[in-house]
């Protein structure tokens, strides 16, 4: 069956350290993968998109990698700050019809402690 | 600022009493989506529109209906809400060109008593 898996346990890290979140998928062959941030009681906010032919994408303190052989994406936040505390969702296109359709993972909650 | 607006932010209804959630956008995007998100779960796509073209997900219950009278507005109707329909309902939009990212509204938290 098709699955997108993110670590359901919260990730607790110290301010200033690098946070690394994992997204694994099975039985999908996405052309791209996206990462979103979701704060409690709010809608997700787009952060980064990485295409299947890109190994790595960066935006300020954020870095995303995409390994289509391992079927995995890693999301890194360097020099993390308490304001980075949120749930981070990965999403991929299922290539199953529709328009810019996305299938989301359940997200990993990140807590950055001062 | 261009945005996606959802009303109301909180909706309480009674078991079996129909409810309508609304979404509007100022982004002029062709595609609008409705998701259901339960606590600590992934947003689950219910259906989406490309302009007036309606696309239902195979596992969306018949209890959920949608209308899109024009580009800016989209409605989610829950005909007979059950306790299991209590969730956050998220509306999102996307353009059909460019980065394919989705823009989400703040959500409507539905409580069913």
Chain B: closest CA distance from residue A105 (Å): 5
Tell whether B27 is within 8 A of chain A (Cβ). no
Q: Does the beta-carbon distance from A99 to B48 stay under 8 Å?
A: yes
Contact B22/B29 with Cβ under 8 angstroms?
no
Question: Which architecture characterizes domain A3-35+48-102 according to CATH?
Answer: Sandwich (2.60)
CA separation (Å) from A88 to A33, A98, A106, B23, B30? Answer: 13, 24, 9, 24, 26
pLDDT 10s digits, A9-41: 899 999 999 999 999 999 988 889 999 999 999
Residues contacting residue A63 through CB under 8 Å, at least 6 positions apart: A56, A57, A75, A76, A78
Residues of A in contact with B89 (CB under 8 A): none
Tell whether A40 is within 8 A of chain B (Cβ). no
Residues contacting residue B41 through CB under 8 Å, at least 6 positions apart: A106
Residues of A in contact with B107 (CB under 8 A): 41-43
Domains of chain B plus CATH, in order, are 4-112 (2.60.40.10)
Residues contacting residue B78 through CB under 8 Å, at least 6 positions apart: B13, B18, B19, B20, B21, B63, B64, B65, B85, B110
Domain ranges for chain A: 3-35+48-102
Could you state, in chain order, the average pLDDT of each consecutive group of 10 residues for chain B (113 residues)?
90 96 95 96 95 92 96 96 97 83 96 96
Q: Does the beta-carbon distance from A106 to B40 stay under 8 Å?
A: yes
The mean pLDDT value for A65-87 works out to: 96
Helix (H, G, I), strand (E, B) or coil at A46: strand
Q: Which of B103, B113, B81 is nearest to B35 (CA)?
A: B103
The residue among B107 and A94 whose pLDDT is bigger is B107
Tell whether A8 is within 8 A of chain B (Cβ). yes
Chain A: closest CA distance from residue B86 (Å): 14
Report the distance separating Cα A2 and Cα A71, nearest Å: 12
Tell whether A50 is within 8 A of chain B (Cβ). no
Q: Does the beta-carbon distance from B103 to A46 stay under 8 Å?
A: yes
Tell whether A4 is within 8 A of chain B (Cβ). yes
> Which of B8, B11, B42 best tests the A interface by mutation, with the highest count of A CBs <10 A?
B42
pLDDT at A113: 97
Report the distance separating Cα B24 and Cα B80, nearest Å: 23
pLDDT at A1: 79
pLDDT at A86: 98
**H helices, E strands: number in chain A:** 0, 11
């Amino acid at each position: 069956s098709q699955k997108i898996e993110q670590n359901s346990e919260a990730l607790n890290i110290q301010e200033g350290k690098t946070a690394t979140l994992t997204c694994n998928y099975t039985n999908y062959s996405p052309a791209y993968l996206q990462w979103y941030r979701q704060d409690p009681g709010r809608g997700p906010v787009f952060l980064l998109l990485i295409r299947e032919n890109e190994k790595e994408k960066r935006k300020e303190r954020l870095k995303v990698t995409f390994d289509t052989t391992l079927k995995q994406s890693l999301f890194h936040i360097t020099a993390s700050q308490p304001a980075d505390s949120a749930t981070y969702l990965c999403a991929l296109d299922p290539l199953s019809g529709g328009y810019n359709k996305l299938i989301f993972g359940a997200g990993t909650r990140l807590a950055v402690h001062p | 600022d261009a945005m996606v607006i959802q009303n109301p932010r909180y909706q309480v209804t009674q078991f079996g009493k129909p409810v309508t959630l609304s979404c509007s956008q100022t982004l002029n995007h062709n595609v609008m989506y409705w998701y259901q998100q339960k606590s600590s779960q992934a947003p689950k796509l219910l259906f989406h529109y490309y302009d007036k073209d309606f696309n239902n997900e195979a596992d969306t219950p018949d209890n959920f209906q949608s209308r899109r009278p024009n580009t800016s507005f989209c409605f989610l109707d829950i005909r007979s809400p059950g306790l299991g329909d209590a969730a956050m309902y998220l509306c999102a939009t996307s353009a059909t060109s460019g980065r394919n990212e989705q823009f989400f509204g703040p959500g409507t938290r539905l409580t069913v008593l």
